Amino acid sequence: MIKVMIAKPGLDGHDRGAKVVARTLRDAGMEVIYTGIRQTPEQIVQSAIDEDVDILGISILSGAHMKLVPKILELLREKKASVPVFVGGIIPDEDVDKLKEMGVIEVYGPGTSTSEISEQVKSFVEHSDT
């Protein structure tokens, strides 16, 4: 059973994409925690740890990703949690590279097929299952 958390950090209210992704993952047989909007990085990280999720998906369209995603990664490290992180939303190409360097597994932009996302989550979790 795959357990995922889809979180929306910061003040961003764009939840259409996050909801579509959350629902797709649920309908693909996963257990999904969708946090709703306006979560602080601290809340997201502690929840992901307490819920022991297999994967954490962050959705940001507000442009605050270069502040919020690094903060989340840093808190995860601080708390010795090894939760893989995915990001989706409006992320300019140059930032995609930077985020990946920081340890984000994959970044998904507008127009991505959700079934592709669900396949990739599945295969990622299965392969990291040791």
Partner 1 sequence: MSDEELRKKYDVWDEKTNEMLKKFPERGNFRTTWEEDIKRLYTPLELGDYFEIGFPGKYPYTRGVQNTMYRGKLWTMRQYAGFGTAEESNKRYKYLLEQGQSGLSVAFDLPTQIGYDSDDAHSLGEVGKVGVAIDSLADMETLFEGIPLGKVSTSMTINSTAAILLAMYLNVGEKQGANRDKLRGTIQNDVLKEYIARGTYIFPPQPSMRVITNIFEFCSKEMPLWNTISISGYHIREAGADAVQEVAFTLADGIEYVRAAVKAGLDPNVFGKRLSFFFAAHNDFLEEIAKFRAARRMWAKLMKEKFNVTNPSAMKLKFHTQTSGSTLTAQQPENNIVRVTLQALAAVLGGTQSLHTNSRDEALALPTEESVKIALKTQQIIAYESGVAKTVDPLAGSYYIESLTDSIEKHAFEYIDKIEELGGMVNAIESGYVQQEISNRSYEYQKKIESGEQIVVGVNKFTVEETSSKRLLKVNDEIEKGQIGRLRALKRERDNKKVAKSLSVLENVARTDDNLMHPIIDAVRVYATVGEISNVLRKVFGEYKESITI
Partner 2 sequence: MSNIQTHEYELLKGMEKRERRILAKVLSLCESDPGKANILLGKLPKSTAHIVGMTGSPGIGKSTLVNAILNEMPERRVAAIAVDPSSPFTGGALLGDRVRMQSHATSENIFIRSFASRGSLGGLSPSIYEACNAFESFGMNYVIVETVGVGQSEVDIVNVADTVVVALSPDNGDEIQMMKAGLMEIADMFVINKFDNPKSQILLSRLRAAMAMGRKEIPIYLTNALTGEGVSDLVKALNERFLTISSNGVLKKRRKNRLIHHAQSTLKRELDFLIEKIDLEEEGIDLDGLRRKLIHALCWNHSESRK
**Are the C-beta atoms of 56 and 48 separated by less than 8 Å?**
yes
Q: Which does 117 bind (CB under 5 to 8 A by kind): partner 2, ligand B12, partner 1, none?
A: ligand B12
Q: State yes or no: residue 120 binds partner 2 (CB under 8 A).
A: no
Of 18, 21, 30, 117, the one binding partner 2 (CB under 8 A) is 30
**Which among 111, 79, 86, 110 is positioned nearest to 100, based on CA atoms?**
86
Helices 93-102, 65-78: inter-axial angle, 10-degree rounding: 10
Residue 9 φ then ψ, to 5°: -85, 160
Beta-carbon contacts of 16 under 8 Å, excluding residues fewer than 6 positions away, are: none
Residue of this chain nearest to ligand B12 (CB atom): 88
Q: Which does 59 bind (CB under 5 to 8 A by kind): partner 2, partner 1, ligand B12, none?
A: ligand B12
Q: Which does 108 bind (CB under 5 to 8 A by kind): ligand B12, partner 2, partner 1, none?
A: ligand B12
**Are the C-beta atoms of 21 and 114 separated by less than 8 Å?**
yes
Of 86, 99, 104, 125, the one binding ligand B12 (CB under 6 A) is 86
| Residue nearer to partner 1 on the CB measure, 102 or 128 | 102
Q: State yes or no: residue 36 binds partner 2 (CB under 8 A).
A: yes
